Amino acid sequence: MRNISEKQRIVIKLGTSTLAHKTGKLNIRRMTNLVRVISDLHNSGREIIMVSSGAVGLGAGKLGLPEKPKDTKTKQAVAAIGQCELMHVYDDMFAKYSITVAQILLTKAIINNPSHCENFMNTVEKLVNMDVIPIVNENDTIAIDELELEIGENDSLSALVAELSRADLLLILSDIDALYDDDPRSNPDAKPIPLVEKITPEIEAVAGGAGTSLGTGGMSTKITAAKIATNAGIDMIIMNGRDPEKLYDLFEDKEIGTLFKAQ
Ligand SMILES: Nc1ncnc2c1ncn2[C@@H]1O[C@H](COP(=O)(O)OP(=O)(O)O)[C@@H](O)[C@H]1O
Ligand SMILES: N[C@@H](CCC(=O)OP(=O)(O)O)C(=O)O
């Protein structure tokens, strides 16, 4: 029996493929449903911290670009446009439920600098105590393609945020139901793995790259995230963000997605 119902402070990570269509434009139905269910979880007394991707994807969608840009300067500019759009959407959608959101943009250098990192932790704590939902992303305009600054993908970032904010659970919403024993896009016989007690080399070996041109890290960065979270004593779930109602099932301890057990 799972004990997800007991989790109080939850970091929820949303990937680009969950919040946008392949065009890069907002998936309005999905986002409307997600914000409604997350608002309900928040109203039930849980502390929610979000890590949201989407700056580059939504920026590209807003500009009508056929795909995410590849060159650094365009990516940085597009991220600046998309981040603004992303927060506008969240601010607007959560306002319907009288919930205030706040934006925090991080880089690797901020996390690695003890005093900057403490500022981040204090701000998250204060916002959560104010009943506000912090929404974190990487500061792509500053960090993209900068070795010293860039984490590069939000799966690991969400695990670091979970660790720094002392979360009880990291919930990664993806475009796939679970970790499978092979990439289900290339192997239709792949089977879901409901529980990972320990991240072994065999588990690492089954995780492949991104499934769509919108996604960044694929399953391998989710395994990296799982290592960070579980080593910090935090359970992690990977589940599909396609059907937000399933979040209710998850918090009723039903077996949804893959649970990586805290070590
Ligand atoms: N073993 C695996 N189990 C599940 N998905 C896998 C696996 N290996 C690779 N993948 C791919 O990882 C993708 C999810 O990651 P990604 O494309 O980055 O999406 P998101 O941005 O929504 O997290 C899946 O759609 C799938 O194609
Ligand atoms: N920080 C980037 C997203 C990076 C990332 O990991 O993307 P995704 O695989 O969609 O979660 C952005 O906001 O576009």
> Percent of the chain at pLDDT above 70?
98
Work out the average pLDDT over 133-161.
95
Closest CA to 83 of 62, 68, 69: 62
Over residues 170-193, the pLDDT tens digits come to 999 999 999 999 999 889 999 999
Q: Binding residue per annotation — 239?
A: no
Q: How confident is the model at residue 97 (pLDDT cuts 50, 70, 90)?
A: very high
pLDDT value of residue 218: 85
What does the domain layout of the chain look like in residue ranges?
Answer: 4-260
Nearest-CA residue for ligand 2 atom 3 is 53
pLDDT value of residue 211: 65
Residue 201 has pLDDT above 70, yes or no: yes
Over residues 148-172, the pLDDT tens digits come to 899 999 999 999 999 999 999 999 9
pLDDT value of residue 215: 65
The 3-state DSSP class for residue 229 equals: helix
What is the ipTM score, two decimals? Answer: 0.97
Q: Binding residue per annotation — 174?
A: yes
- Closest ligand relative to 175 C-alpha: 1
Q: How confident is the model at residue 194 (pLDDT cuts 50, 70, 90)?
A: very high
pLDDT value of residue 144: 87
Residue 106 has pLDDT above 70, yes or no: yes
pTM: 0.97
Q: How many CA atoms does the CB half-sphere of 179 hold within 13 Å?
A: 27
Residue 182 CA: which ligand 1 atom is closest? 1
Dihedral through CA 126, CA 129, CA 134, CA 136, nearest 10?
50
Report, at the CATH architecture level, how domain 4-260 is classified: 3-Layer(aba) Sandwich (3.40)
Over residues 211-240, the pLDDT tens digits come to 676 667 789 999 999 999 999 999 999 999
Task: For residue 14, report the distance from its CA to the centre of ligand 2, in Å.
Answer: 9
Look up residue 20 and give its DSSP letter: B
Residue 153 CA: which ligand 2 atom is closest? 6
Residue 216 CA: which ligand 2 atom is closest? 9
Over residues 48-95, the pLDDT tens digits come to 999 999 999 999 999 999 999 999 999 999 999 999 999 999 999 999
Residue 136 has pLDDT above 80, yes or no: yes
Q: Where are the beta strands (DSSP E) in the chain?
A: 9-14, 47-52, 101-106, 133-138, 169-174, 195-196, 235-240, 258-260
Average pLDDT over the chain, rounded to an integer: 95
Work out the average pLDDT over 93-111.
98
Burial 166-180 (b: 16+ CB within 10 A, else e): ebbbbbbbbbbbbbb
76 CB less than 6 Å from ligand 2?
no
Report whether 104 contacts 132 (CB < 8 A).
no
Mutation choice for ligand 1 from 153, 183, 200, 220, CB with most ligand atoms inside 8 A: 183
pLDDT value of residue 209: 72
